[in-house]
Chains A and B, each alone.
Chain A
Amino acid sequence: MSTTLLTGSEAAAYGAKLARIEVLAYYPITPAFPAMERVSKFIDDGDLKTRFVRVESDHSALAAALGASLAGSRTFTVTNSQGLLYMTEVVYHTAGLRQPVVMAVANRALSAPHSRFPEQGDAISQGASGWIQLFCENNQEVLDNMLQAFKIAETVRLPVMVNYEGYIQSHTLEEVEIPNQEKIDQFLPLNRVRTLDVDNPQGVNTVASPEFYMDYKFRQNEAMEQALTVICSVASDYAKEFGRDWSGLIETYQMEDAEHAFVAMGSMISDARIVVDELREKGQKIGLVKVRTWRPFPAEALREALKNVQLVTVCDKNIVYGLGGALGTEVKSALYGQTVRINSYVLGLGGRDVTTEEIKQVLELSEKTEKQTTASEWFGL
């Protein structure tokens, strides 16, 4: 193992390299493009024997990755925001065809108005698509989650998105430990399933009648539920092998005696750890719940983690118009029936800064707020 300074983009690219992807397809977009260029550079330098399909659009990028996956190759793509929305049709289709494609998403705000800055709205828009979604708090986790993503995807046969925020993560250098290739090869052996195979021909995606469609969807959802367990076991296997435990679905920090819990996902988590430490020192009984797996939604784990707190503050870097922050809404539904105060905040949209200072202010505001009158309150306007 060696430690080096990597951006989140590079960490994602190293993940793809260590996973020995066979086919790569992507269409350039900001801020995901440095990850794309890095994998291409690995190929150009002869460090990676991967076929690159230089497609003409995001839609075709996932289409090509899907075709390659159906033909039995491990495949990878990268995108965000408009690119992800443009490929949405294929996103759903890939999940329905149960193909273990892994996609890195450098989360970015959606147009209009046009924005190139970080936000989780793109990933949230795909929340019903049938993809497993992991959110990373730092660049090391980006790399580690990439490798776990392939393992999870190939085990439950569902595609996985690895989310990291544009710029905040994609363009920021951090120390990252790069695992040893042989050990990765053992952790992630080649697991070839050929659906399109001339030696074993089948018709793929024939029209499903009402008699069949719903049963397929039931099985697909069943796989999502199975993923709740698989994600945890893959995380602990990885921890045993590589010494880093990102936990499976959620991670709790300083929650043993906490009365107030901060719940969020993505880059806010690493800042929130600092805030929690600081407030603890001042004697506040505060803790942190990091949602690492957003899909499948870890409702059971959250209920367990939050059963003894009096106040839950959920922060969302996204907005579901007319409803509120996505995580806030879902935490509320997960805790239905438990007597706990839940305050939900929308903040940091389109790149507006969320630093330790903002997190402290939100927590303070939440403590003072007895009952929210809206589904989510906007913070930082």
Chain B
Amino acid sequence: MNKIKKWLLSISPSLIAILSGVFAGFIIMLISNPANAFSGLIVILKGGWNSGMKGVGQVLYFATPIILTGLSVGFAFKTGMFNIGASGQLVVGALASIYVGINWTFLPGHLHWIVAMLMGTLAGMVWGMLVGLLKAYRNVNEVISAIMLNYIGMYGVNYLIKSSNSMYDILRNQTANVAASAAIPKAGLDNIFYNLIGKFKDVSSVNAGIIIAVVVAIIIHILLNRTTFGYELKACGHNRYASQYAGVNENRAIILSMAIAGALSGMAGALMFLAPPSGMHIHVQEVLAPQGFNGIAVALLGLSHPIGIIFAALFIAHITVGGGYLQSLRYMREIIDIIIGLIIYFSAFSLLMRNIVLRATRKRKQYAGEEEAGV
């Protein structure tokens, strides 16, 4: 009983943040298309349910990469670092997995997609680790190096795609299709998430990626809360002096935690793009992957808690999919993007504001003298 109360209390800030986000979105809808605002709100809130089981499957599909980028940001955050580099790590991971997915066709059966996914994860890991190394040995602020690596990653990937024969689909200006054996399997999910149109099975894009993401979240949860490694990372995150005093190797903790954060984002990239021909491809354009930044919102809403992050990602995917159906109410594409973006970021920022206010009041309480942290 007490446990439930505590739990409710701990997630209530996220719920309040979401409500205020939805409210802010509603205001924009009232402004842009007042007649349909209310029914529009219903559409958004219905999310995937607007189109039955397929829609629900789409929610899971969109949730997959942002669970992982959310974990990436949240994990780094637990260890005291702000990983704004998820975008770059994601795209680098995506390219590595696509490369393997297209070229390493000698890999038999399931091994192909698994290796492709792991190579993507590894590439993201290297990209994240660079940030950690720079911070540990050169004391470079992780935000600055991560932002730079986002752009280096994006332009570098574009360059590599264009200069590659095998990977470039010049007509569509995007990456070529990966081999069928490199696509993440459906794992039976296509038998659950589909709509019947007459005899035709309209199948959702969801695949085993969502299962992998959830399992990874649970592993990260265990890593953080049950292992000595997690203990060290959290100690560093909360108070680096105390962790020094305890004999924790701080540089190692910084490097490893950024490496893991990078690996999570890299895996997000792999799961997104290891898709059948009808699925996603990297477009050669000068845009940072939005999933990376959505990861920040997800981590904030999920309070950096791995399980919370799963639900936060599901919520954001739900709203995003719901927004897609707004077009039927004659909302313009751009307005929809604004509304959805507003809901997501307003939620995240209202939570951020709340944390700042809380911290400020706690500071005030610390002013009582007994509780000042060694800042």
Partners in one complex: no
- Residues on B lying within 8 angstroms of A by beta carbon are none
